[in-house]
């Protein structure tokens, strides 16, 4: 099969011909990929940012946002069958450790992470995962239309879902960054809360999309955006700021936009957050990290998606054009999410 593989960091990946994955255990599932999302994390992988944390053996296949059709199943699989349309939780989990039993499967002690850890991902024709990672979809679903919900979607949904208890009517939520994750977060906020949604981004096209999908107010990130958010909130700041950027100073802008007793949800990464400890104490502000989401987050998100309340704005590329997709994402030329279709 054809697959996009990292051979060296700080270099473009290559499209190689490799063997198809095989079943290795009774709960394994082989999926024929119908769509693989191209994520900013894939750019960070190529930069070597994940090398020490995940220590994958090169070369390996990237791609952690995947959907498709069940191609083969192990002897112990009962929840899906060959031919089923599925979206895949990005981190297959064991179901037996304490984290899994608490419903915190993204913190599974025995998980692996295809496309990120030392396991081949889904920028290929086929992928090996497990039964626990498979969420069955309506057979009419086109996997390419939903693939990016497997990571970008549940990451955004997970953050919003955690913040729902404090986003009652009359509150304000700021979404900083309306790109691949942020445009999903906007729709999740509109679907789950009655908060006022303010979107901050430096790209006018991203702000135009934000208005189309649920933003009440938009602010251009031109250096005066912190003051603009303060003006929109009577000088107080936002109840919650969802920072989908978290680099190049945005992470500290987000802190300045949070109201006293407010919450800063850090979803993007790459920057360095810094704040005086007195601001934490005097303002009683909270900073909360987010990583992926649970299996139930993905299942709930797919209910919203199949009801038309969350839709992905995508640009599709054939698998052979994977380098074009990665370069376009890096250059900011993708509106919404880039999807590879084998």
d(CA 35, CA 158): 22
Average pLDDT over residues 303-327: 94
Summarised one tens digit per residue, pLDDT across range 87-127 is 999 999 999 999 999 999 889 999 999 999 999 999 999 99
CA dihedral 230, 275, 168, 156 (to 10 degrees): 110
Spell 304-329 as b/e; 16+ CB within 10 A means b. bbeeeebbbbbeebebebbeebbebb
Residue pointed to by tokens 């929109």? 232
Average pLDDT rounded to a whole number, residues 51-75: 95
Task: Give the C-alpha separation, 307 to 266, whole Å.
Answer: 28
For position 273, what pLDDT does the model report?
A: 92
Q: Say if CB 256 and CB 231 are below 8 A apart.
A: no
Report the share of the chain in percent with pLDDT over 70.
100
Mean of the pLDDT values across residues 241-270? Answer: 95
DSSP 20: P
| Per-residue confidence (pLDDT) for residue 199, from 0 to 100 | 98
**Rounded distance, CA 154 to CA 293, Å?**
5
pLDDT digit string (tens) for 155-174? 999 999 999 999 999 999 99
Lookup: tokens for 199: 């979107």
Pairing status of strand 172-176 against strand 238-243: parallel
Distance CA 123, CA 39 (A): 11
Angle, CA of 7, 46 and 185, to the nearest 5°: 140
Confidence of residue 332 (pLDDT cuts 50, 70, 90): confident
Is pLDDT at 18 greater than 80 in this prediction?
Answer: yes
Residue 335 has pLDDT above 80, yes or no: no
CB 198 within 8 A of CB 264: no
pLDDT for position 144: 96
* Adjacent-strand bridge partners of 28: 130
| Alpha-carbon span 211 to 217, nearest angstrom | 7
> Which pLDDT belongs to residue 210?
95
Strand segments (E) across 142-257: 172-176, 196-201, 217-220, 238-243
Q: Quick count: other Cβ atoms within 10 Å of Cβ 53? A: 9
Strand 337-341 to strand 314-318: parallel, antiparallel, or no bridges (unpaired)?
A: parallel
Q: Which helix (DSSP H) or strand (DSSP E) does residue 38 occupy?
A: strand 28-38
User: Residues in the chain, how many?
Assistant: 342
CA distances from 2 to 23, 318, 323 (A): 18, 11, 14
**Three-state SS for 198?**
strand
- pLDDT tens digits for range 241-255: 999 999 999 999 999
* Domains of the chain as residue ranges with CATH: 2-151+292-340 (3.90.180.10), 155-289 (3.40.50.720)
Distances in Å between the Cα of 116 and the Cα atoms of 61, 90, 154 are 9, 9, 17
330 vs 75: CA distance, rounded Å: 42
């Amino acid at each position: 099969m054809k697959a996009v593989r990292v051979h060296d960091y700080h270099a473009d990946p290559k499209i190689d011909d490799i063997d198809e994955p095989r079943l290795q255990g009774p709960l394994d599932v082989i999926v024929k990929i119908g769509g693989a999302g191209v994520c900013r994390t894939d750019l960070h992988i190529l930069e070597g940012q994940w090398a020490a944390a995940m220590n994958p053996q090169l070369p390996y296949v990237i791609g952690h946002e995947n959907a498709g059709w069940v191609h083969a199943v192990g002897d112990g699989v009962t929840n899906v069958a060959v031919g089923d349309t599925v979206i895949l939780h990005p981190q297959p989990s064991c179901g037996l450790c304490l984290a899994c039993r608490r419903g915190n499967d993204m913190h599974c002690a025995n998980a692996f992470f295809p496309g990120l850890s030392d396991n081949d991902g889904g920028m290929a024709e086929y992928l090996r995962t497990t039964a626990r990672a498979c969420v069955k979809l309506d057979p009419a679903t086109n996997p390419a239309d939903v693939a990016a919900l497997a990571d970008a979607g549940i990451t955004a949904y997970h953050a919003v879902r955690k913040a729902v208890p404090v986003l009652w009517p009359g509150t304000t939520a700021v979404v900083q960054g309306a790109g691949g994750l942020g445009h999903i977060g906007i729709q999740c906020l509109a679907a789950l809360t009655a908060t006022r949604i303010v979107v901050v981004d430096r790209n006018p096209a991203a702000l135009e999309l934000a208005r189309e999908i649920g933003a009440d107010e938009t602010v251009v990130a031109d250096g005066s955006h912190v003051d603009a958010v303060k003006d929109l909130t009577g000088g107080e700041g936002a109840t919650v700021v969802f920072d989908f950027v978290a680099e190049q100073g945005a992470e500290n802008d987000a802190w300045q936009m949070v109201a006293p007793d407010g919450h800063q949800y850090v979803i993007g990464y790459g920057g360095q957050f810094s704040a005086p400890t007195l601001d934490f104490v005097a303002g009683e502000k909270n900073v909360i990290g987010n990583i992926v989401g649970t299996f139930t987050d993905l299942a709930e998100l797919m209910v919203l998606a199949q009801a038309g309340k969350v839709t992905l704005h995508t640009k599709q590329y054939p698998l052979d054009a994977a380098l074009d997709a990665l370069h376009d994402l890096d250059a900011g030329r993708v509106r919404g999410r880039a999807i590879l279709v084998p």
